[in-house]
């Protein structure tokens, strides 16, 4: 409370407003709602873009792991889709056949978040991506990775070379 002296030298209290009026509160809420409406789609695209590149890096690392395992074990290693089809978004796994003809799983990779399109026409469950003990692959092929809401250059393409190495390229969305 602030006080003021008047001409009769009596002290008179002056009341100050505390808080917001209803109109100020409504205007602030509307402005925040508009900002959120604009920001949410932009943030979603940003997260999906980062996610596509993170998934791409994970996939390349998994193929490198399979290649190293094939060379170290001196065995043929297979990278197989969990779906049994050309849809790799459901996950994949790395396996080999040991000396007792038993199939051993080296590592499983879970389904991908937010259901991206991750496909291969060549490695569709038959044949599998097979890495020979020399580190080379038995057949070349490609992979395609993008989200259905893809815009701009957020589509990744992978070429599996005969050497067993992977080339990654970024292209425009379909």
**How far is Cα 118 from Cα 155, in angstroms, rounded to an integer?**
10
Residue 25, pLDDT score:
85
pLDDT at 11 over 80: no
pLDDT, tens digit, 9 for 90 and up, residues 36-91? 777 776 666 556 556 788 899 999 999 999 999 999 999 999 999 999 999 999 99
156 and 59 in contact (C-beta within 8 Å)?
no
| Strands 92-97, 117-119: pairing kind | unpaired
Q: Give the other-Cβ count within 10 Å of 47's Cβ.
A: 13
Task: Give the position of tokens 């590149």.
Answer: 53
- Please name the residue that has the structure tokens 């959120």: 36
HEC string of the chain equals: CEEEECCCCCEEEECCCCCCCHHHHHHHHHHHHHHHHHHHHHHHHHHHHHHHHHHHHHHHHHHHHHHHHHHHHCCCEEEEECCCCCEHHHCEEEEEECCCCCEEEEEEECCCCCCCEEECCCCCCCCCEEECCCCCECCCEEEEEECCCCCCCCEEEEEECCCCCEEEEEECCC
pLDDT of residue 152: 81
CA atoms within 13 A on the CB side of 25: 4
User: pLDDT higher for 62 or 4?
Assistant: 62
**How confident is the model at residue 157, as a pLDDT?**
95
Report pLDDT for 9. Answer: 58
Q: Quick one: pLDDT band at residue 23, thresholds 50, 70, 90?
A: confident
pLDDT > 90? residue 94: yes
Spell out the residues 6+ positions from residue 25 whose beta carbon is closer than 8 angstroms to its own.
Answer: none
Question: What is the average per-residue pLDDT within 145-152?
Answer: 85
Q: What is residue 50's predicted lDDT score, i.e. its pLDDT?
A: 66
- Give 107-127 pLDDT, tens digit per residue: 999 998 888 999 999 999 888
Question: Does the pTM of the predicted model rise above 0.85?
Answer: no
């Amino acid at each position: 409370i602030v006080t003021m002296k008047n001409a009769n030298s009596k002290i008179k209290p002056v009341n100050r407003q505390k808080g917001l009026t209803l109109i100020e509160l409504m205007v602030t809420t509307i402005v925040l709602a508009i900002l959120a409406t604009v920001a949410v789609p932009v943030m979603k695209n940003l997260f999906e873009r980062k996610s596509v590149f993170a998934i791409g890096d994970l996939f390349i690392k998994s193929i490198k792991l399979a290649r190293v395992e094939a060379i170290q074990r001196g065995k043929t290693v297979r990278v197989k889709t969990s779906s049994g089809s050309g849809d790799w978004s459901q996950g994949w796994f790395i396996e080999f056949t040991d000396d007792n003809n038993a199939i051993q799983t080296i590592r499983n990779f879970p389904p991908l978040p937010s259901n991206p399109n991750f496909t291969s026409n060549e490695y569709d469950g038959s044949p599998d991506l097979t890495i020979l003990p020399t580190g080379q692959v038995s057949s070349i092929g490609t992979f395609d990775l993008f989200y259905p809401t893809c815009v701009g250059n957020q589509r990744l393409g992978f070429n599996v070379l005969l050497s067993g190495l992977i080339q990654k390229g970024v292209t425009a969305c379909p």
